[in-house]
Amino acid sequence: MRPFLGFAAGLVFGLGLVISGMADPAKVLNFLDLFGTWDPSLAFVMGGAVVATFLGYRLAWRRSRPVLMQRFELPSSKTIDGKLVAGAAIFGLGWGLGGYCPGPALTALPLLAPGTLVFVPAMLIGMWAGVRTRNTNFFSTSNKGATA
């Protein structure tokens, strides 16, 4: 049941991206162009997502446990470290240069746009590199937890 519901949620998310126009990198890049052809529609899409997420979490946290899991799995760390900042900066640069973040890029992949065909492999390489460097101290200032 979980795989089916995950697929259904992904399908609804992808359809939402297509319907809202967020699978078009020009729309995203126009949102980031504050002093040119600024398009505020992405702000409305994000605002709607924030409201839906807020309401969804309020409903979910009223339950003693998730519907399909034994317990809630929430992040325990609230530390902002070099890896988090570097990852966010790389994500933002990729988003700003390509006009895609992972969801819309995968949603737009079947359209075979040349930009998507370059962005998705680059994104996958970046994800692979992130996993490979996750346990290194490349971005940290201490040697605590470093691996050889």
pLDDT tens-place string over residues 51-103: 999 999 999 999 999 888 899 988 888 899 888 898 899 888 888 888 888 88
Of 54, 50, 51, 30, the C-alpha closest to 40 is: 30
| Mean pLDDT confidence for 29-38 | 88
**CA dist., res. 116 & res. 123, Å (int):** 10
Other C-beta atoms within 10 Å of 119: how many?
25
CA atoms within 13 A on the CB side of 43: 8
Q: What does the pLDDT look like over 112-143, one tens digit per residue?
A: 878 888 889 988 998 888 888 776 665 555 54
CA atoms within 13 A of residue 42's CA, in its CB half-sphere: 19
The predicted pLDDT at position 148 comes to: 42
What integer pLDDT is reported at residue 137 of this predicted model? Answer: 63
Count Cβ atoms below 10 Å from residue 12 Cβ, excluding itself.
Answer: 10
Question: Whole-angstrom Cα distance, residue 9 to residue 12?
Answer: 5
Q: Is the pLDDT of residue 36 over 70?
A: yes
Q: How far apart are the first and last CA of the chain?
A: 41
For residues 8 and 146, the model is more confident at 8
Q: Both tokens of residue 92?
A: 């933002």
The first and second tokens of residue 122, run together, are 């680059």
Proportion of the chain above pLDDT 70, given as a percent: 91
pLDDT of 40 > 70? The answer is yes
CA atoms within 13 A on the CB side of 93: 9
pLDDT for the residue 17? 85
